[in-house]
A = this chain, B = another copy of it.
Amino acid sequence: MLTAEQIAAMVNARTHGDPGKTISGVSSFDDAGPKDLTFAVDHSFFSRLNETKAGIILVPNEAPAVSGITLLYSDNPKLAFFKIVAHLMPAEPLKEFIHPSAVIADDCIIGDSTCIEAHVSIGQGSTIGNHVHIMANTVIGKQCRIDDACRISPNVTLADKTRIGRQSIIHPNSVIGSDGFGFVQDGHAHAKLLHTGRVHIGDCCEIGACNTIDRGTLGITRIGNGVKTDNQVHIAHNVKIGDNTLIVAQVGIAGSTTIGRDVIIAGKAGISGHLNIGDGAIIGPYAGVADDVPPGNVVSGIPHMPHKIWLKVSRIIPRLPSLRTRLLSIEKRVKKLESSSTEQP
């Protein structure tokens, strides 16, 4: 149970309406009841503030005041809302615990307050930091290093020598550090290249479920700090990804490509190998990127093109049949004009 006044103090918001109004839960704008806190992020909600049944609404500073509704004005209402969610539904504290079924090599170094669940395997020479949570049935190879406060979800596979920075999360069933797709023609067959590289993931990263991030062929596949990937993302050998880049579901990035900082790659986009995607670039959904993208550029489409052009192109594509019909008609009319112009003299 929190009052509007208490919430305002916790998230540095300004109260409009009843400071004593209380909530005990949180919900989305349309599902909320009178004992829920909710939030409204943009103009589309401002005319509907009286439509939610929420007891208290977190709004941005530019939102209008509505009499009879308790509003909390915040610089970042979504961030503030999720701080209250975390306050009301605190995560269970991690208990120091190693399940007896976990198989951990003798020479591993395991930090304090770390929890290792059932059926985990950890290979020789690996180091696990403090406050790390390794969930059930995860397999960690040899000589891995997992820094403090990481969470490795169930059924994850970390291949040998993988390194994960502190406070990072690996979601279930992801594979980090397996061999890249590297072969060399040897007569008719494809000879396997021995992969001796590894994967380094930075601090505060989040790797989605069923991701595959391949080790470098020789060197390192490097994921910067604060990088977040959605589910089913594929990152090939020797890719480098800059800090705070976001990669949405089902994206594929081919080998040796370098992605800058603060890049956004939308769902299902594909990026070819050996490219440079500059800092702050945005790649649209389903885009097929086969060339470098300069910093700050926004591109979409297959083949990729400036997003503004793609918006026009995507409106024209469904009209191609009628444009073709018009072209054929003009062709006929021009023929007619030509024949009449040659007849004239």
Contact = CB atoms under 8 A, between A and B. Distances in A.
Interface of A: 26-28, 31, 76, 78-79, 82, 85-86, 89, 91, 99, 101, 103, 117-119, 121, 135-137, 139, 153-157, 159, 169, 171-175, 178-179, 181, 183-186, 188-194, 196, 204, 206, 208-210, 212, 214, 218-219, 226, 228, 230-232, 234, 236, 244, 246, 248-250, 252, 254, 262, 267-268, 270, 272, 285-286, 288, 290, 301-303, 305, 309-310, 312-314, 316-318, 320-321, 323-324, 326-327, 330-331, 333-334, 337-338, 340-341
A265 B313 CA distance: 25
B119 A121 contact: yes
11 contacts: A85-B194, A101-B101, A118-B119, A155-B156, A172-B175, A173-B174, A189-B244, A249-B254, A267-B270, A301-B317, A337-B341
A82 B195 CA distance: 9
A193 B79 CA distance: 8
Contact of A320 (B156, B178, B188, B317): B317
Contacts of A316: 320-321, 324
A155 B181 contact: no
A203 B69 CA distance: 41
B186 A76 contact: yes
